[in-house]
Amino acid sequence: MSSDLVHGRAPSGPFTQPESITDPDRLASYLDDAAHVPGGYAAALVEPRSERDVSEAVQRATRVLAIGAQSSLTGGATPRGETLISTARLRTIVDLADGRLRVGAGVTLAEIDAHLARRGALYPPLPTWHGATIGGAVATNAAGAATFKYGTTRAWVDELTIVLASGDVLDLRRGEARADEQGTLVVQLGSQTLKIPVPSYRMPDLPKVSAGYYARPGMDAIDLFIGAEGTLGIVTEATLRVRTTRPATALAFVTLTDRKVALELVGRLRNAAMQSWRTPGARGIDVSAIEHMDARSLAIIREDGVDMRLGVEIDAGGVMGLLVALDLPSATAVDEACAPLAAMLQEFDVPDAIVAAPDDHAAIERLLALREAVPLGVNQRIGRARRDIDPRIEKTAADIIVPFERFGEMQALFDEELQSRGLDGAVWGHISDGNVHPNILPRSVAEMESGRDAVLAFGRAAMRMGGSPLAEHGVGRNETKQKLLREMYGDDGIEEMRAVKRILDPDWKLGSGVIFSRVHLRKQHPQRNR
Ligand SMILES: Cc1cc2nc3c(=O)[nH]c(=O)nc-3n(C[C@H](O)[C@H](O)[C@H](O)COP(=O)(O)OP(=O)(O)OC[C@H]3O[C@@H](n4cnc5c(N)ncnc54)[C@H](O)[C@@H]3O)c2cc1C
């Protein structure tokens, strides 16, 4: 039953006195994340083994940054002088009697997947990179390809243990504490009562949003910490809901030569999937994800010879590649189960799909590698530009979501912006959610700067279309993303987030500068979504 009150407690477990590593050589490999923003530096690194270790480390340091696998694409896991608290040694995995899974924050999603696979179960909201930790995934409310069918991390987290900036610990269980009618979440820490005002901005209603603190009237206290990017507390453990069965999933890759037709096909596949979920048992098309690669992404695959290496033929006139994940009904032959999809492709006059059956692991790996070759190829090109042209060149990318019905419009805008600015860029992502990642391929610092403006234009257009410029990667320390967040909720919205942080972290100890800056910047943006 909901008590509307969260009680803190003292940390439990042994204090193992983890070493505070300050040796620059040992710190060197922790100074950036997957956004590769240069200039990271850290005071120290601590690798706690227990909840009490985390609490002690937080209390001893002036500023801390929690890190998992540092796969952040926003610079949120790049230190700026803090003590790094790595969750690498928080590695418990416990199967609960009711089937759920209790895991330490440092357990990776790949490990969770492998563990559950042994009992035929599944934790579905996996981001594309499974090396990320569950702590990082909770902190960013990570999503991914299969969000279309299963939702984001938020939907699968039942309980969290959080170490606050004070060193106190919260055990949050979904359904136990909600915001009251005044819009306040109440946390009791010993004799101290913390009254946290839920921000009043309206979050867009979309399949995935990783844009600052979650806020809804009557919201569950646990949701405040999911997606807070480590700025309100450090996740030490999480209890996850899991699916007791693991569907057999086939992959089908098709290349289309007409973008309009491709979008129509995606729309039909989405509708067919939703119809299948409404009528379990019907032999329809049960799609859990549709991944998308635009013409430039396909060209990158060809330029890098990945198609030849993997033996996957890509139509030279292809303007869109689609990788469809198809959940198959049990006890049905693959051909029979794929027949409705084949019929739909025929209707759209799409040449034969390259299909990888669920048990053909090599073929599945090949198609996944084809998809991954796009970000890999883009990152290599940026790395070469940084090395050969200018060391200041950085990854410049957006993480846009729009209601699927507006995706065609968004696509036209990507074209327009890139063409009018003379920029090279590739767009790929999770089209089944209307969520894609336009990436700029800068050939100079000027192009990178123009690319940043393009990212702002994409984000603003997404907001106009009822979407979000921040979908699944979070905000981190990326200036452009922070600017877009401010435009999304207005200066007052950011101030409301600051008010939440000030109550839970008055000394601004945790992840300072992540999501928003400490100081109030001058008023300059209209308030949206209020
Ligand atoms: C190739 C590639 C593909 C990706 N694909 C996707 C995708 O499909 N979907 C998606 O959502 N993301 C994706 N990402 C981004 C990234 O993997 C996710 O954001 C992931 O959730 C980060 O997990 P991590 O363990 O690496 O966290 P880190 O990068 O270490 O940290 C990320 C943020 O979380 C905070 N944090 C980390 N651990 C904790 C903790 N225990 N408690 C509190 N705060 C914490 C950090 O301070 C930081 O702000 C991708 C990244 C790469 C490199």
Nearest CA to ligand 1 atom 22: 136
Give the nearest ligand 1 atom to 233 CA.
43
Per residue in 445-501, pLDDT (tens digit) is 999 999 999 999 999 999 999 999 999 999 999 999 999 999 999 999 999 999 999
**Ligand 1 geometric centre to CA of 137 (Å):** 5
If one residue of 83, 128, 468 were mutated to test the ligand 1 pocket, choosing by the most ligand atoms within 8 A of its CB, it would be 128
The number of the ligand 1 atom at minimal distance from the alpha carbon of 514 is 49
Ligand 1 centre distance from Cα of residue 438 (Å):
19
Residue closest by Cα to atom 17 of ligand 1: 71
The sign of the torsion formed by the CA atoms of 203, 207, 211, 214 equals positive
CB atoms within 10 A of CB 98: 8
Instruction: State which residues of the chain have pLDDT below 70.
Output: 1-3, 520-530
CA triple 214-215-217, angle to 5 deg: 145
Q: Which residues face 470 on adjacent strands?
A: 399
The distance of Cα 342 from the centroid of its chain, to the nearest Å, equals: 32
Q: What are the DSSP calls for 452-512, one per residue?
A: HHHHHHHHHHHHHTT-BSBSSS--TT-HHHHHHHHHHHHHHHHHHHHHHHHHH-TT--BST
CA 34 to CA 129: how far, in whole Å?
11
Note the pTM of the prediction, 2 decimals.
0.95
Structure tokens at 36: 């590769």
The pLDDT value given to residue 189: 95
Determine the angle formed by the axes of helices 445-464 and 407-421, rounding to 10 degrees: 160
Record the tokens describing residue 235, joined without a space.
Answer: 């996740």
- What's the 3-state SS for 322-341? EEEEEEECCCCCHHHHHHHH
The CA 136 to ligand 1 mean position distance, Å, reads 4
For residue 521, the model assigns a pLDDT of 57
Q: What is the pLDDT of residue 106?
A: 98
Q: How many whole angstroms from 503 Cα to the centroid of ligand 1?
A: 25
Distance between Cα 70 and ligand 1 center (Å)? 6
Centroid of ligand 1 to alpha carbon of 504 (angstroms): 22
**What is the per-residue pLDDT across 186-202, written as a single tens digit (0 to 9) for each?**
999 999 999 999 999 99
* Angle (nearest 5°) at CA 124 between 123 and 128: 115
Ligand 1 atom with the shortest distance to the CA of 106:
41
Between the CA of 140 and the centroid of ligand 1 the distance, in Å, is 6
Ligand 1 center to 481 CA (angstroms): 15
Q: What is the pLDDT of residues 466-480, one digit of tens each?
A: 999 999 999 999 999
Token pair of 402 as six digits: 């729009």
What is the set of domains in the chain, with CATH numbers? 5-240 (3.30.465.10), 248-364 (3.30.70.2190), 389-474 (3.30.70.2740)
Q: What residues are in contact with ligand 1 under a 6 Å CB criterion?
A: 33-34, 65-73, 76-77, 87, 105, 127-129, 132-133, 135-137, 139-140, 142-144, 229-230, 234-235, 375, 472-473, 476, 511, 514
- What is the CA(172)–ligand 1 centre distance, in A? 21
Our mutation pick for probing the ligand 1 site, out of 140, 147, 169, counting the most ligand atoms within 8 A of Cβ, is: 140
Residue nearest to atom 13 of ligand 1 (CA): 127
- Reported as half-sphere exposure (CB side, CA atoms, 13 A), residue 358 has a value of 17
Ligand 1 centroid, distance to 433 Cα (angstroms) = 19
Can you tell me the distance from the alpha carbon of 102 to that of 495, in angstroms, rounded to the nearest whole number?
A: 35
Pocket test for ligand 1, best of 37, 54, 71 (most atoms within 8 A of CB): 71
Q: Which atom of ligand 1 is nearest to the CA of 67?
A: 30
Q: Element (H or E) spanning 222, and its range?
A: helix 221-225
The closest residue, in CA terms, to atom 47 on ligand 1 is 66
As a residue count, the chain comes to 530
